[in-house]
Structure 1
Amino acid sequence: MTFKPSLLTQKLKKKPIIWTISGADCSGGAGIAADIKTGHGLNVEVCHLITANTVQNSVELSAVNAIKVQVLAQQTQALRFDKPPAVIKIGLLVNSTQVNWLVATLLILKQQLPDLLVVYDPVGQASVGGRLSSLTANALAPLMPLIDVITPNLIEAKQLGSLSPKSTYKVEVLAANILQLGCKAVIIKGGHTDSENTEAAEKNNAAKTHCIDICLQSLSSSVLLSLKSPKINTNYSHGGGCSFASALASFLAHDYLLRDAFTLTKAFINQGLSLCADIPNGNNEGESQGEGKSQDHPDVNNSSMNYANNENYYGAFQPGSWPTKLRYFPSVISPLNQQVQLSPNFPSLGLTVSEKLGLYPVIDSLSWLECLLPLNLNIIQLRIKSENTAELGLLIEKAVTMASDYHCRLFINDHWQLAIKYGAYGVHIGQEDLNSADLKAIAKSGLRLGISTHGCYEFLLAKQLQPSYLAIGAIFATNTKDMTGQIQGLTNLRQILALADNIPVVAIGGINQQRLEQVWRTGVSAVAVVTAITEAEQPVSATQTMQALLG
């Protein structure tokens, strides 16, 4: 039987759709239950295909009853055209028959939906003890090339990477081993960190007090994303691993880049664990970061457990809504942090609590600077793209002199050595140039520093450097730079502003006179414009009009 969507169904579709293919937990903690609660909290529609009905509670796993693939195939056919997914989250797979069915199904769906993403949480063992699945890495091998992101905890990662549970390892090597199986990206969750078995933990005690999650996107990339959060002890973490993967799927369905989806997911998990951190029996030292209990649990079918006096009660993780509070967000582990810790602070912009920068023109020549300086602007950026260092030096020296006559905050784009040499007010550095810039020299020279960011991951990374301001963009699509996959929009801008503390935030990218006021109402300190001035028929008049709109 073929199911076809009605016209009414097609018109009503607004939320992103994710599918979850996983097991059902009758205690309501893990699997499908966690996925549905998480997805609804993050404003996605969740369709579920149940691979197994499990018999479990907060202390034991009694049975795993696999669902026949014929039933799964019927459900897939019912949903395939009516509610096609943006992302599929996979959890429990019980046997090789289900794996083979899933491989064939994903091949068909990826052909139908070229942008479809697949997130896999390789569930093998119940957090209360007992095996949910006996699938080996070899049995999963046909599935791996179809996986976009795999999200094992450390125990699962060792199994996938063919390491013994007691082996010493570097987590980045473990991640690379998993990528060699064919998946496109791996996130290793750090909730099960064992301070005796990681090389990093042997050097310090961070693993005992903090949870470090890592993300590696390709074997050819040297970029390893690492997020660090304090461990949160609670007895209410059952299903935290499932919720992590379904939250990641939800954020990806909202079109976030993986680095930002990873960051938001970690904030979501921290938020959920914190909601239950103070509940009675919620101070169990064995609990960490939603990955389940780390102490030993009863064997399957152990009926001697005294449920009424279970002091180690294991309750369901509590998914919240979209994370917006800074205290839930992780810190970003980066070599840049060490560089800045050893250098002076970057000077502030000298703004009062209620003062804002206003309109922020970004221009590419001295003639534009000469045109705009008399308009009493608080800040201007000079962005000159030239390979001639001698010519650049002359232009920047002249620009610094011109701006000082008008007491305007002039930021030089990228060329920090020349900005230091000629005593500019500040330098603006793009995210891609941060690693090559000498931040210590910039701070020591007294230059103010502005940094470009494109999403919450880069924003948090740059914020840790305590710059003079942070720019976020592109707010809208722009012709001046290819920002594919990095358009922020107003909603995301508002959410990122909540993470800024007292650092001024500049909105940039695709902002014209018509969009100016709605961007300004988000609460940014400045609105950067490029073509709204440089392509205006009357640039001076256009600038004055926009200044007036910003008050």
Structure 2
Amino acid sequence: MSKKPIIWTISGSDCSGGAGIAADIKTGHALGVEVCHLITANTVQNAEQLLSVNPTEINILQQQVNILIDDKPPSVIKIGLIANSAQVKWLTTTLALIKTKVPTLQVVFDPVGQATVGGALSTLQREDLTDLLMLVDVITPNINEAQQLTNQTSFTPDILTKKIAELGVNSVIIKGGHTESLTGINPEISRDYCLHHIEEVPIRYQLTSAKINTHYSHGGGCSFASALAAFLAQGYLLRDAFTLTKAFINQGFAQSVINEINKPNYYGAFEQTHWPDNAINFPTVTSDLAQVHQALPAFLSLKLQEKNLGLYPVVNSIYWLKRLLPLGLEIIQLRLKDKTGQELEQIIIEALALSKQYKTRLFINDYWQLAIKHGAYGVHIGQEDLQNADLKAIQKAGLRLGISTHGCYEFLLAQQLKPSYLAIGAIFSTKTKNMTGQIQGVENLKYILQLATNIPVVAIGGINHQHAEQVWQTGVGGIAVVTAITESENAEIAVKQFQHFMPFR
């Protein structure tokens, strides 16, 4: 069994067991990480009132850091309640030192200032956080906390996220639980916003869910931040960790509704359930791309009937098409990366003629204009090229569309475009492309498949004969391979071996 990732939570203790450290530990364990906790304050509160906040002495906090740092160094530190300015100064110095020892450390900060039942949990002012925020990677305020951090009265997430980012935080998530009810725009909808910077380039993510109203919500904000920390600790990119976190929260609220039926009119704790695994709890990815193409009809299907795609070779030349097409394939892709102009067009023309001869579905990678011009069966477009592709023209021309995705966020987004198939990758590390931070693995593939509708799904990336059967057992409709065929000693035998693993279901 692999070692569990470790997160630290630095926050307050809620004696009623709903929020703070209690929520962090329950969330972390539900999501498969080990949780070490440093308690900043013992709070006296219940579902109706906050009586007192009793800060922990700095020397005790420091002793806990000293004993944990070598024994259980964290992948992620989640910060919640900071009781006073002395703790802020200590924490700022401590985080800077830990980051020198653990350069990959990520810090998630949930800026708790008020108890849900009312009353101040902290004596901090906005100015006290200036130096600390420079060490924070992700901050997760609700709309009220975002306004306090920025000294703004605006309810516009775009404005608030930018203002908070200017304080030195790389990524800002504004939780949507309070936003719509405060603005009155649509109180039945919860919208969560994220402003993320990759090499100083701003990227925005927005997730939308139906609002779930329940009195069993105590500790929901703490659980959001600790769930995000747990997913980041397991190597998820922020966009996927954000999406999984929202699904986890939705799942907990859905369970809380059931709890409320059994005990109505009681302000109870948020329900930390389990890894989010039901599509109904996942949010909708809101993006310009999806909105622009909302009215676009579904792309033509692959007409598989009772069959599946099976083996899906991806090749880079006419030579490989001639060699593989006679082997009884359902589908093949031509990926040309070093050809231009007339040479490129001539190769595509010849490839289309070959595919028609063998009655095999041929997808042209990327070059959708030429695919339309010469009446290709389909075109495959990578995630990075979707924004510039004319999807309306592709659909109008009657071409099938395949789209690459890398994680649950992109999968949910691409699924809204109603393509002919979706590819998920990279399942394993691959020689053909640098996929650092985007390796999905078989377990994550299983989870993503649970989000699929009736669109065929293809697994791709680093899959060889050793892995093929394991990947196939997840229920994917096809397995795309590159070097496992083109670099094999005998491509024909390699194809037959793959096909042996993938009988028609």
| TM norm structure 2 | 0.97
Secondary structure at 2:500's aligned position in 1?
Answer: helix
Superposed displacement of residue 282, structure 1: 9.0
> Does the Cα contact within 8 Å between 2:472 and 2:501 map onto a contact in 1?
no
Which letter maps to 2:231? F
Mapping of residues 37-186 of structure 1, within 5 Å: 37-163=26-152, 167-186=153-172
Mapping of residues 113-262 of structure 1, within 5 Å: 113-163=102-152, 167-194=153-180, 197=183, 205=185, 207-218=186-197, 220-262=200-242
Counterparts of 1:276 and 1:196 in 2: how far apart (Å)? 22
Q: Which residue of 2 aligns with 1:336?
A: 289
CA RMSD of aligned residues (A): 1.6
Please, which moves more after superposition, 173-182 or 219-228? 219-228
> Does the Cα contact within 8 Å between 1:339 and 1:440 map onto a contact in 2?
no
CA offsets per residue over residues 108-165 of structure 1, 9 Å max, x none? 11111111111000000001011111312210011011101000001001111111xx
Count of residues paired in the alignment: 502
> Does the Cα contact within 8 Å between 2:189 and 2:208 map onto a contact in 1?
yes
Of 369, 375, 382, 1:430 maps to 382
CA offsets per residue over residues 10-31 of structure 1, 9 Å max, x none? xx98111111000011111100
CA offsets per residue over residues 481-533 of structure 1, 9 Å max, x none? 00001111111111111111211111111111221111111111111110111
Counterparts of 1:137 and 1:261 in 2: how far apart (Å)? 27
Secondary structure at 1:427's aligned position in 2?
Answer: strand
Distance 1:408 1:484, change over 3 A: same
Q: Which residue of 1 aligns with 2:277?
A: 324
* Unmatched tracts of structure 2, length 5 or more: none
Superposed displacement of residue 536, structure 1: 1.3
Superposed displacement of residue 445, structure 1: 1.2
Q: Which residue of 1 aligns with 2:310?
A: 358
Secondary structure at 1:93's aligned position in 2?
Answer: coil
Secondary structure at 1:252's aligned position in 2?
Answer: helix
Counterparts of 2:424 and 2:50 in 1: how far apart (Å)? 48
Superposed displacement of residue 550, structure 1: 1.7
Counterparts of 2:404 and 2:438 in 1: how far apart (Å)? 12
Following TM superposition, where does structure 1 have runs of at least 4 consecutive aligned residues deviating by more than 3 angstroms?
Answer: 194-197, 278-283
Secondary structure at 1:62's aligned position in 2?
Answer: strand
User: Does 2:24 correspond to 1:35?
Assistant: yes
Counterparts of 1:343 and 1:191 in 2: how far apart (Å)? 31
Please, which moves more after superposition, 179-188 or 342-351? 342-351
Superposed displacement of residue 370, structure 1: 1.0
Q: Which residue of 2 aligns with 1:266?
A: 246
Secondary structure at 1:227's aligned position in 2?
Answer: strand
Mapping of residues 286-435 of structure 1, within 5 Å: 312-352=265-305, 354-386=306-338, 388-435=340-387
Q: Which residue of 1 aligns with 2:442?
A: 490
Which letter maps to 2:350? K
Mapping of residues 476-515 of structure 1, within 5 Å: 476-515=428-467
Which letter maps to 1:187? I
Secondary structure at 2:94's aligned position in 1?
Answer: helix
Secondary structure at 1:142's aligned position in 2?
Answer: helix
Which letter maps to 2:178? H
Distance 1:415 1:257, change over 3 A: same
Superposed displacement of residue 195, structure 1: 5.3
Of 395, 415, 425, 1:463 maps to 415
Please, which moves more after superposition, 235-244 or 537-546? 537-546
Counterparts of 1:385 and 1:161 in 2: how far apart (Å)? 47
Which letter maps to 2:188? T
Counterparts of 1:41 and 1:377 in 2: how far apart (Å)? 43
Counterparts of 1:550 and 1:279 in 2: how far apart (Å)? 44
> Does the Cα contact within 8 Å between 1:344 and 1:444 map onto a contact in 2?
no
Secondary structure at 1:141's aligned position in 2?
Answer: helix
Counterparts of 1:279 and 1:44 in 2: how far apart (Å)? 26
Counterparts of 1:177 and 1:327 in 2: how far apart (Å)? 34
Secondary structure at 1:452's aligned position in 2?
Answer: strand
Which letter maps to 1:264? L
Distance 1:57 1:281, change over 3 A: farther
Which letter maps to 2:63? Q
Which letter maps to 2:293? V
Superposed displacement of residue 390, structure 1: 2.4
Superposed displacement of residue 169, structure 1: 4.1
Superposed displacement of residue 222, structure 1: 4.0
Secondary structure at 1:64's aligned position in 2?
Answer: strand
Secondary structure at 1:381's aligned position in 2?
Answer: strand
Counterparts of 2:181 and 2:471 in 1: how far apart (Å)? 47
Please, which moves more after superposition, 498-507 or 240-249? 498-507
CA offsets per residue over residues 356-386 of structure 1, 9 Å max, x none? 1110000001111111111110000000114
> Does the Cα contact within 8 Å between 1:343 and 1:444 map onto a contact in 2?
no
> Does the Cα contact within 8 Å between 1:234 and 1:281 map onto a contact in 2?
no
> Does the Cα contact within 8 Å between 1:227 and 1:332 map onto a contact in 2?
yes
Counterparts of 2:139 and 2:120 in 1: how far apart (Å)? 20
Distance 1:458 1:318, change over 3 A: same
Of 474, 482, 486, 1:534 maps to 486
Counterparts of 1:169 and 1:266 in 2: how far apart (Å)? 20
Which letter maps to 1:255? G
> Does the Cα contact within 8 Å between 2:260 and 2:266 map onto a contact in 1?
no
CA offsets per residue over residues 63-82 of structure 1, 9 Å max, x none? 11111111101111111111
Q: Identical aligned pairs, as a percentage?
A: 60
Superposed displacement of residue 314, structure 1: 1.2
Q: Which residue of 2 aligns with 1:298?
A: none
